[in-house]
Structure 1
Amino acid sequence: MVFYRQLGVVPKTRHTLFRADSGAIYYEELMGEEGFSSDSSLLYHRNIPSALVGARIWDLNDQSLTPNLPLLPRHLRLHSLFDVGDATNVDAVTGRRLVLGNGDVRISYAWVGKTSPLYRNSTGDECVYVEDGTAVVETVFGSLSVAKGDYIVIPRATTHRWVMPAGDAAKLYFIEANSHIGPPKQYLSKHGQLLEHAPYCERDLRGPNEPLLTEGQDVEVYIKHRGNGPSGLAGSIHVLPYHPFDVVGWDGCLYPYVFNINSFMPITGKVHQPPPVHQVFEGNNFVVCNFVPRKVDYHPDSVPVPYYHSNVDSDEIMFYVDGDYEARKGSGINKGSISIHPGGHAHGPQPGAVEASLGMEYFDELAVMVDTFRPLELGEAAMKSDDGRYASSWTGGRWNNV
């Protein structure tokens, strides 16, 4: 993250001998991005963090991808992927189902009610949006509580697990990068501070409050990592002699944090504002945007819904979370839907949406958008949740196969 924090006990001088009151040595670990040339934190462990006593293969869920051929806009109904009773047997690590993916980012979804195993994603950062429910995310840096509307950004290789309250369930939308995820560069000073024109600031972010110390022996950690198979991914399970949550203190600028979508301050204007004003995070070759309840354009002849547009360099993925998305009325899209608007196809409001929006002053809508700069392919969850009709929604259902 962009600013320094310190939790627990750390030595006065880094890279020096640090002992407990008992005389035992604490073991220093540098967790850093881009080798030794970007953000990092120093963690002080009771035990040697490299120690292993066993390992085996973890067979990942179906990671296969199918090209979007013929090129089509699509409507996916994510809520159809899970039944109400499924959540009790689904966790946030082994239960997520792949919706879309390319070489830069993967989007998955799960409805979870079971505490996950310990997990480490070594392929990139994860940004998880909590569509509904609550959970506690325990990490090597400490714990973070999350609830409806929260994003949690988890740096690459952070050991963590999702702890579910008894009898509760959460709907989780996973954005897994093959890079790092952070605030948009246009909102940052040259030293990394969020600027005055940014739609959120550091005081809106929540990090861990205290170290998390847990005892245990022969503890399993599930690791997603790079591989040579078709998906480029592989899984392993490491068995550690001691519990990895043994950090007595840490300091630095790299750690997991939470941001709630309701803290986002929308940027509005006299005429319709383009999607970049809604941006909240970015990774390599993709961006994440929020569309939140807001006042809309105030020019006397303004058209509040988006103009038709063809993002020639992007695929646009919109996840409809809450409210009533004006531009998509009449298309069948509802809460829990995803629309796929691929590069090469001009898209925009459904028939009648322009006329219906005239004179409106406020949109009550909540959506999370991911725009990618390489084409996305369809995961097994997309294939099973596609309504098969969305492409004809601009022509009243008319469809001619050729």
Structure 2
Amino acid sequence: MPHYHTLGKIPHKRHTQFRKPDGSLYAEQLFSTEGFSNDYSLLYHNHPPTQIIRTDKPVNVQPEIAEEKMLQHRSLEGFKIPPEKDFLHSRKPVLVNNDCHIILAAPQLNMGSYFYKNADADELIFIHEGSGVLQTMYGEINFGYGDYLVIPRGTIYQIHFSETNNRLLIVESFSPIRYPKKYLSPYGQLLEHSPYCERDIRVPKNLQTHDETGDFLIKTKKKGMLYGIHYLHHPFDVVGWDGCCYPYAFSIHDFEPITGRVHQPPPVHQTFEAHNFVVCSFVPRLFDYHPDSIPAPYNHSNIDSDEVLYYVDGDFMSRKHVTRGMINLHPGGIPHGPHPGAVQKSIGAKQTNELAVMIDTFHPLQLTTTALEIENEGYVMSWAE
């Protein structure tokens, strides 16, 4: 849950008359991803956000599953996803289950002709390459290399990129993406032992109120279908809002690593959580400082989770032949660990410059046809080298 924030003009009391200079009423909207039983925000529009003027025929955008069941380590070359001009067309799901979809994207152009709303899932967009501005009905968020953009489901947005070379890792979560409970006080404040705090969270700014009438296309995704819904008024006609449900940014470079005398387990890297999966950040850090420590991770058994590691930048002493944008999947049921020679090589090392995002899912992931197109064949045998 982001902390309480307000931007623009709002009335003194919620659900009361809030009038424009001409005496007419602003239209109040309660925005929440869990009905009336959890975090919410109240937005005040120049026009009711309900005025649909026409709809387009829906398009099927469900991921095409290639392997529903499998039990072997897999490796994907993420940067082999070809760039595409359109943001939505560029999104290619590679690993999916009923809790989340893991997507790669290489968009080249801005979302100038339409807006987008994911009505099914919260979105976590990691910016591997590129920069720009996320524009929403809540205001704007500037983003760049290493940023996580957390966008609650139902948020209408446009992304404007500063350049054409953009690489994104996107996680669609069919449950709310939250701060880990272990980092939070009973009242929602990030605690002292948390690897980041509220000062690191970047909230929307520069609220731009568009009081425009016309034909505004909001491409809306619901249950694997993309619907073109045309509205009479610009969706960013909000004059003010307040609450605890809104998009925000957090930089992986602001994650403060937790280290120890001996090797620390992956939960110390946890950054976000959702229902049946977690997201972790591996960042540059000092290695363990026990005189007999082994910096390389120990072999471990994945029994009740699939582990996905997305390599961003830096050196990875536990793995061979790592490339930027590579995704390794270690499914539940097979132990895995450092590649041959990595343990001995790591002894005496003082620090690592690795940067990676890890996603652990508690239910098995399925591979899509796109995943097979960018797969590194023979990865499961790489521990025998």
The TM tier, using the shorter chain, reads over 0.9
Q: Report if aligned partners of 1:286, 1:370 keep a CA contact under 8 Å in 2.
A: yes
Partners of 1:13 and 1:356 in 2: CA distance: 63
Q: How does 1:387-398 map to 2 (within 5 A)?
A: 387-396=376-385
Q: How does 1:302-317 map to 2 (within 5 A)?
A: 302-317=293-308
Structure-2 change in CA distance of 1:110 and 1:361 (3 Å): same
Q: Report if aligned partners of 1:61, 1:94 keep a CA contact under 8 Å in 2.
A: no
SS in 1 for 2:117: strand
Q: Report if aligned partners of 2:130, 2:161 keep a CA contact under 8 Å in 1.
A: no
**Residue 9 of structure 1, CA deviation:** 0.2
Partner residue, 1:399: none
Structure-2 change in CA distance of 1:114 and 1:132 (3 Å): same
Amino acid aligned to 1:182: R
Partner residue, 2:193: 197
Q: Report if aligned partners of 1:75, 1:333 keep a CA contact under 8 Å in 2.
A: no
Partner residue, 2:324: 335
Partner residue, 1:211: 207
Provide the TM-score with structure 2 as the length reference. Answer: 0.97
Q: How does 1:44-123 map to 2 (within 5 A)?
A: 44-61=44-61, 63-67=63-67, 69-82=69-82, 86-87=83-84, 89-91=85-87, 93-116=88-111, 117-123=114-120
| CA deviation string 1:190-213 (max 9, x = no partner) | 111100000000000101113222
Partners of 1:58 and 1:301 in 2: CA distance: 61
| CA deviation string 1:167-224 (max 9, x = no partner) | 4331111000001001101000111110000000000010111322233511000111
How many residue pairs were aligned?
382
2:293 is the alignment partner of 1:298 = no
SS in 1 for 2:7: strand
**Residue 346 of structure 1, CA deviation:** 0.4
Partner residue, 2:142: 145
Q: Report if aligned partners of 1:129, 1:149 keep a CA contact under 8 Å in 2.
A: yes
Amino acid aligned to 2:298: Y
Partner residue, 1:181: 177
**Residue 295 of structure 1, CA deviation:** 0.2
2:157 to 157, 160, 178: 160
SS in 2 for 1:388: coil
**Residue 353 of structure 1, CA deviation:** 0.2
2:342 is the alignment partner of 1:353 = yes
Partners of 1:298 and 1:68 in 2: CA distance: 43
SS in 1 for 2:103: strand
2:248 to 246, 257, 273: 257
2:117 is the alignment partner of 1:128 = no
**Residue 70 of structure 1, CA deviation:** 4.1
Amino acid aligned to 1:137: L
Q: Report if aligned partners of 1:43, 1:249 keep a CA contact under 8 Å in 2.
A: yes
**Residue 277 of structure 1, CA deviation:** 0.3
Across the aligned residues of Structure 1 and Structure 2, the Cα RMSD in angstroms comes to 1.3
SS in 2 for 1:63: coil
2:227 to 222, 233, 236: 236
Amino acid aligned to 1:281: F
Partners of 1:258 and 1:73 in 2: CA distance: 32
**Residue 254 of structure 1, CA deviation:** 0.8
Percent of paired sites with the same residue: 45
**Residue 122 of structure 1, CA deviation:** 1.1
Provide the TM-score with structure 1 as the length reference. Answer: 0.93
Q: Report if aligned partners of 1:26, 1:44 keep a CA contact under 8 Å in 2.
A: yes
Structure 1: stretches of 5+ with no match in the other structure = 227-232, 397-402
Partners of 2:23 and 2:147 in 1: CA distance: 42
Partner residue, 1:289: 280
Structure 2: stretches of 5+ with no match in the other structure = none
Partners of 1:90 and 1:351 in 2: CA distance: 42
Amino acid aligned to 1:210: N
Partner residue, 1:400: none
Structure-2 change in CA distance of 1:44 and 1:357 (3 Å): same
Q: Report if aligned partners of 2:67, 2:368 keep a CA contact under 8 Å in 1.
A: no
Deviates more, 1:123-132 or 1:28-37: 28-37
Partners of 1:38 and 1:384 in 2: CA distance: 41
Q: Report if aligned partners of 2:127, 2:146 keep a CA contact under 8 Å in 1.
A: yes
